[in-house]
Structure formats: structure tokens, C-alpha cells
Amino acid sequence: MNFNKSLALRKRFNDLIPGGAHTYAKGDDQFPEFIAPYIVKGKGCRVWDVDGNEYIEYGNGLRSVVLGHAFDPITKAVAAQLKFGANFGRPSVIELECAEEFLSIIEGSDMVKFCKNGSDALDGGIKLARAFTGRDMVGACASHPFFSVHDWFIGTTPMAGGIPESTKKLTTTFYYNDLASAEKMFSEYPGQIACVILEAQKYDDPVDDFLHKLKALCHKNGALFILDEMITGFRWHIGGAQRKFNIVPDLATWGKAMGNGYAIAALSGKREVMELGGLQHDKERVFLLSTTHGAETHAMAAAMATFKFFKENQVVERLYEQGTKFEVGVMKASRDLGLEDKVAVIGPPCASVYTTRDQDNQPSQPFRTLFLQETMKRGLIMPSNIVTYSHSDADIAETVEKIHDTLVIYKKALAEGIEKYLVGRSIQPVWRKYNLY
């Protein structure tokens, strides 16, 4: 593969855009130094870069593309809506239609407010919880890597430049499947925690009724229970992971797959909490999610078309089927080469990730870089293993074959030294304090 045009664009990107990308997970430091292609188009599960290279993709808009790139039913719905305008000075009827359709799918939510990204939805939920409880602190699950771009969460990370110390003190943490850590959190901050926020699942299943016990613990201590369904919504189940695990949160946040890549997110929940951001109460007003572009009509059309396709087709079932085929194939390749303890597929098949471990079985950024380098050279973009409805059996088989060839190089690097095979510097974790390679 030739990457000359992409390499020539890198300086221009970084000169004009801080970090060279509008999302840190897509930045240059997350990809091999000399193989970081810039994309020009996508169709189904494939994308093409500025050099004309073709890839099967497993990043898919950070899990937001669930059906496939430029998926015809969604594209047609968006194009049809655009003819009538995108944004007006009063609500459009499609906003009500989309809200009705959304709430018919999401059990236990009485009201919904749309916005453009997950961070805004989560921040809206935090604000409502603080107003509802009269408390300031947030309990965030430290087992989950990302919730919001805003200060209440970023202040908990190593990349906390610009966050006031006073703000950092307002967020505390607990761990998934560790009820004792949550109990300790509440005991350390009695009467201070407004809400607890977590994903219903990341990699491991909830054990011993963890979610239900955590919700009960929250309510016992006067806090709200918030589920972040940004990733799990419309992948784990059309009704979200909360439907899969039979639990109803006080508030929930949604996005990514609900618009098949179009910019739409949502905050939903119980009426008594959500209405604090409305007009039908006599309590202190809450400034909740007032976004200029939050109700763009073409994004609503994309969401409604996505809902319709899910209802008429077995999308979630296919995600699990294709994800399982991917896992079985990759794990066989890994076992055949004696690497199953180094490169393994983990997490639910609908949204799995892979491990990259070194000679000592420790997670390794250099070996992750090598894996990315070799898979991209072979026509795969896979920062994770995100399958879509468009990934066919042939696509999965081709992927597994190319991963097998990559693992042959991986095994040689383990035996002979990674410096012999890795070209350029290693990638770095997003969460680091300084830009040191």
C-alpha cells in the first residue's frame, strides 16, 4: 500500500486542527507513525483513503455506524428530509414524531430531549440529578474509560489540564461489579452524592445482580441511578442494555448507533426528573440542553429510519452472529500460532475489542502499534472489532485471513524483538499528562 498522500496531509491537519483530529481517539498518536490514512469515502463495511487504498473497517465512527457507511435506507431518508430545510425558529413536527418513536422503544422513559453528542446528554443528566437531589457530587464508574468532555469527568483523568481543583473534588469513583467500592463511596460522602453513572456493561457481564443492587444502593442513599447507553444502546438490544439486563434507570443517555453515524444523541428518563428542565412545574428552573443544532431535521430523519430498519430486520441478532464469527476465527488463528494469551478477543460480540500483550503477558502499546501497522498494511482498519450489519461472511473470512498473517509477524516480533518489525514510534494512551513519546 502507498500512503504518500496521507503522509503529506499530516502537517496540514496538525497545523490547523489541535491534535490533528476532532476526536482524540482518531488522532495521529493513536495510529502507527507512517500508516495513518485520511478517509475520503465509505460504503457498507468498507472505506477508501486519499491514496485510493481500500479497507474493511472495524472502527465505524467510534461505534456510531451500526448498519454500514452510506447505508441506503438511512441516506434516502436524510436526503428526502433535507429538501424541506434543516433548522427553524420553532420546533418541527418531526421532533415530536421522533420523540414518540424513541419513547415507544425505550421502556421506562417518560420524556426525552435530543442533542448532538453524548457529552451534552450526560452533562444534562448530571445537572438534573444535582437539581433533583440538591447535591453536588457525582459517582462515576472508574472501570469505564469515557463519559464526557466536560470538567466533571475530565478532571478524573491524567489529562486534566485546565480543570479547577474545586471541580475535580466534585467527582468520586467506584468500580464495576464491585458493590463494596460503591458502598464505601457513599459512606465517605454521606448525603453528598447526587447520582451514580456507569455503562450497563463494557466487557464483563454484571454478576450477582450488580446493576440492581447498585440501583437499590443509590436510592437508599438518595442518589439517582444513571445508565450511559451511548455504546450499548441499539447494539446490545434495540431497547438498550437496560432491556437486556431488565433494569430501568432514573435517567439514561443515548447516541452513536441511534442515528447510524449522524449527529444525534438523547437524554431520557423519569418525568419527575426530566420535567425540571421544562415548563410544567413550580420549582427552580433548570437550564437543560438548549442546543442550536440539537433538533436538526435530517438527524431526526436518520434516527427514525434507523429505528424503522431495526424493527423490520434482525439487526442486533446479526451483530452478535457476525461478531461471534469474527471472534471464533480470530481466536482460532491466535491459538494455531500459540498466541491466545497475547492476542485475544474480549467483550460482547456486538462490540468487542482485542488484547495486545508482550512477552511478559502485559498490555503493550508497542505491540498494539505493530498489530495496527500490519493489519492496515493488509487492508483492515481496526482500532477495535466493531462489526456492522453490512459485514458479510466473506468480509469476516477475509478479515480473519489477514489477521492470521498479521499474527505471524506478531509472533516473530515476540521472539526476535519488536524493534525489528515496528516502523516508527509506538502509539500512546490518550489519557496521559504530557505529549511525550
Residue indicated by cell numbers 453513572: 197
The tens digit of pLDDT for each residue in 323-363 reads: 999 999 999 999 999 999 999 999 999 999 999 999 999 99
Q: What does the block give as the cell for 430? A: 490518550
The CATH superfamily of 4-70+314-420 is: Aspartate Aminotransferase, domain 1 (3.90.1150.10)
Q: In the prediction, which pLDDT does 142 show?
A: 96
pLDDT above 90 for 252: yes
* Stated pTM of the model: 0.94
Q: What does the block give as the cell for 203? A: 466487557
Domain boundaries, the chain: 4-70+314-420, 87-295
Q: Cα 72 from chain centroid? A: 23
The tens digit of pLDDT for each residue in 366-423 reads: 999 999 999 999 999 999 999 999 999 999 999 999 999 999 999 999 999 999 999 9
- For residue 118, which amino acid is it? G
C-alpha span between 333 and 344 (Å, rounded): 10
- Let me know if domain 87-295 sits in CATH 3.30.230.70: no
C-alpha span between 67 and 237 (Å, rounded): 14
What is the number of residues in the chain? 437
C-alpha span between 303 and 31 (Å, rounded): 31
Going by the DSSP 8-state scheme, the letter that residue 348 receives in this structure is -
Q: In the prediction, which pLDDT does 437 show?
A: 58
> DSSP per residue over 201-267, as a string?
-SSSPP-TTHHHHHHHHHHHTT-EEEEE-TTTBTTTBTT-HHHHTT---SEEEE-GGGGTTSS-EEE
Contacts of residue 139, defined as CB under 8 A and 6 or more positions apart, other chains included, come to 171, 172, 173, 174, 182, 185, 186, 193, 195, 196, 197, 223
